[in-house]
Amino acid sequence: VGQGLVTAMRQELTQYYGMVARMQEQVNASRGGTERVSLMKLMVWVMTPLRRFTCLTRIAEKCVDRKGGALMSAVYSFLNDGDHQVKGLAHELLQAMCLPLRHMLLRWLLDGEIEDPHAEFFIETLHDVSDDRLWHDKYRVRENLLPTFISTNLANKILVIGKSINFLREVCQDKGAIGGREDLKMCFEERIDSLFSAFADTRLHQQIDNFYLNTSKKVLQVIMGPNKLLDHLTAMRGYLLMGQGDFIGLLMESLKTHLDSPAKEVHCYNLSAIMDATIRMTNAQFDDPDILNHLEVQIMEPFDGDTGWDIFYLKYTVQGPVATMLEPCMAKYKMIFKPLWRTKRIEFVLMYKVWKEQMCNAKQFRGMKAEMDGITYKLHLCTLEMMHFISEIQYYVLFEVIECSWAALSKRIGTATDIDDILQAHLDFLETIHYGIFLDAKSDKLFAKLDTIFHEVMNLEAWQDKFYEVCFRELNARTAFDKHVKVSERKGEYGVTTEKRLERDQEKKIFQSDLAKFHKSLDHIRQSYETSVKQFLYELASSNDYNLQLFGIRLDFNEYYKKRDERLNAPLTYEYMRLSSMFHSSRNNSSRMSTSLHIN
């Protein structure tokens, strides 16, 4: 571009030198003749060139220390000058400067290649970025080198066109022709001044728009067709976002024994074999085998005290063109999977272990009902409270957050005109889930309170294991004692010795003492759980998000917690939420009004 400007200025100097030579001829010829060349005539001859050189000097001074698009922008600014001679000169210079720009644009738009030996083109390649990030980070627009006559919107379209051609050829190995290529080339060659036209509706702009639509459509067809982008998104929703319920449930049940072990004893190959068996036993077996091959088990680096649950996660490995598109989002899937998996585990512990054990053991402890009834009654109540809470959390996360977000994503995919529309919709989908499960910075208190509640559920599981262990030990001791008495009676020994009777009575006293301790510790767990839930409800009710406020009302639908905590009386009322929403709306309006007044 700089050389184009220099060449144009040299042509101006050449024309000036030619004029000087002609003037010299006129002067020499007039010496022997009757009509001499006067100073006035010479002054008239040089007036126009001097005026032109004055304009050229103004333009040159503004071009100092500029290059590429910035240099062209400096010259372009003179097209709005009031002096028609300056405007004409700037137009001529821009035509010369646009020749190398046209060459670079054609190479990029038609071949996806950057030919920029002097680092003047407004699109650059980042050579240190790997090809798996070709679509997102390999190329970018350099704002400082973007000419002012090329809008940001047009520059982005130009960027996408070349990027699409590169993606199709390098990643998809698709070298087929794209419609409109020759028309665009011909349009560039016909009118170079269309590049810096004051109006963005020239034939060149229309051809760029058409070629942009054609390349975008081609990329969309390749990604959605042979590369099955939608199938991959559906699979990740099913396996990483807990949408495949039967698979997740059976996998958790099958992995429990392994994941209960210390993290250092958990091996990935064992877990992978269990996952493969789970696929064969659930509806997952009917999925496309090519899709299932992308699903694998991974374990993270363990810390001291970790169990298998802390390091396990499912990973969906994408390859080829799909990997180029989705690679930046895969870390977010891992981040989202962990809390979803833990919530599912808490539900599994409550429904299929804690509650199931209580129902199964109730029959076995009928003979000890009078002694255990005070504890088991509170245990059932505590378990039911937790089950209600976890069920509501699961419903909120899986349906109100993930399912609704997926419906919105599907709708946007159906109306997408290019791949960037789909990628943005997918990113918004993940961001909505990220916010909905309290992983964003504003929801850190909610996430911490929810984590405390989950911790109390795990405490209840551990408490119940120890409780039933003691109860079964006592039941077995009583059964053995009664059996011994019956055997003695059959033998005619009539009962047991005083020593054994005293020993049995002592064991009963220890059991009664243990029951009292269990009763006390259960009350502590229940109280801690209730406190955590009330804190969680308070955070929900105090949120500016109306959906979270409604979620809090559903969790406490019968106002059980509200009646037990005065702090919840105001936030959980409809009036408070209405006034709260009005306050935030009023505050936003006031902020906008003050901003407007400040600007005015």
Alpha carbons 74 and 88: distance in angstroms, whole number: 15
382 pLDDT higher than 80: yes
Choose among 215, 241, 393, 375: nearest CA to 314.
241
Choose among 78, 46, 133: nearest CA to 325.
133
Choose among 360, 366, 254, 374: nearest CA to 312.
254
Alpha carbons 195 and 207: distance in angstroms, whole number: 12
**Range from 114-123, 494-503, 586-595 that averages highest in pLDDT:** 114-123
497 pLDDT higher than 90: no
Report the pLDDT value the prediction gives residue 36, as an integer from 0 to 100: 72
Q: Which CA distances in Å does 74 have to 56, 67, 69, 118, 151?
A: 13, 10, 9, 18, 16
**Token match 């699961």: residue?**
394
Direct distance between the N- and C-terminal alpha carbons of the chain, in angstroms, rounded to an integer: 42
pLDDT, tens digit, 9 for 90 and up, residues 283-337: 999 999 999 999 999 999 999 999 999 999 999 999 889 999 998 899 999 999 9
Choose among 430, 356, 437: nearest CA to 394.
437
Report the pLDDT value the prediction gives residue 587, as an integer from 0 to 100: 44
Alpha carbons 377 and 374: distance in angstroms, whole number: 6
Alpha carbons 406 and 21: distance in angstroms, whole number: 78
Higher-pLDDT residue of 392 and 595 is 392
Alpha carbons 153 and 205: distance in angstroms, whole number: 11
The domains located in the chain, with CATH, are 2-224 (no CATH), 228-317 (no CATH), 318-569 (1.20.120)
In the chain, pLDDT over 90 holds for what percent of residues? Answer: 55
**Token match 């449930």: residue?**
249
Other Cβ atoms closer than 10 A to 329: 17
pLDDT, tens digit, 9 for 90 and up, residues 213-271: 999 999 999 999 999 999 999 999 999 999 999 999 999 999 999 999 999 999 999 99
Query: What's the count of helices (H) and strands (E) in the chain, helices before strands?
Result: 23, 4
Q: Which CA distances in Å does 320 have to 116, 171, 227?
A: 29, 7, 8
Q: How far is CA 2 from the centre of its chain?
A: 42
Report the pLDDT value the prediction gives residue 193, as an integer from 0 to 100: 77
**Range from 19-23, 42-46, 396-400 that averages highest in pLDDT:** 396-400
Choose among 359, 346, 373: nearest CA to 529.
346
State mean pLDDT over 441-463.
Answer: 95
Alpha carbons 411 and 210: distance in angstroms, whole number: 25
579 pLDDT higher than 70: no
State mean pLDDT over 12-29.
Answer: 74
584 pLDDT higher than 70: no
58 pLDDT higher than 90: no
Choose among 26, 47, 46: nearest CA to 37.
26
State mean pLDDT over 364-387.
Answer: 93
- Is the separation of the CB atoms in 427 and 228 below 8 Å? no
Q: Which of the four pLDDT bands, split at 50, 70 and 90, describes residue 196?
A: confident
585 pLDDT higher than 60: no
Report the pLDDT value the prediction gives residue 590, as an integer from 0 to 100: 44
For Cα atoms 495, 499, 501, give the angle at the middle one, nearest 5 degrees. 50
Choose among 104, 159, 161: nearest CA to 137.
159
Query: What are the φ/ψ torsions at residue 467 (nearest 5 degrees)?
Result: -60, -50
pTM: 0.84
583 pLDDT higher than 50: no
Reduced DSSP (H G I as helix, E B as strand, rest coil) percent helix, strand, coil of the chain, to 5: 80, 5, 20
Report the pLDDT value the prediction gives residue 592, as an integer from 0 to 100: 43
- Is the separation of the CB atoms in 167 and 158 below 8 Å? no
State mean pLDDT over 341-358.
Answer: 94
Mean pLDDT of the chain: 87
Pairing of β 139-141 and β 295-299: unpaired
Q: Which of the four pLDDT bands, split at 50, 70 and 90, describes residue 480?
A: confident
Higher-pLDDT residue of 45 and 443 is 443
State mean pLDDT over 541-570.
Answer: 84
Q: Which of the four pLDDT bands, split at 50, 70 and 90, describes residue 586?
A: very low
Report the pLDDT value the prediction gives residue 275, as an integer from 0 to 100: 96
pLDDT, tens digit, 9 for 90 and up, residues 162-172: 999 999 999 99
Q: Which CA distances in Å does 424 have to 59, 132, 219?
A: 43, 18, 15
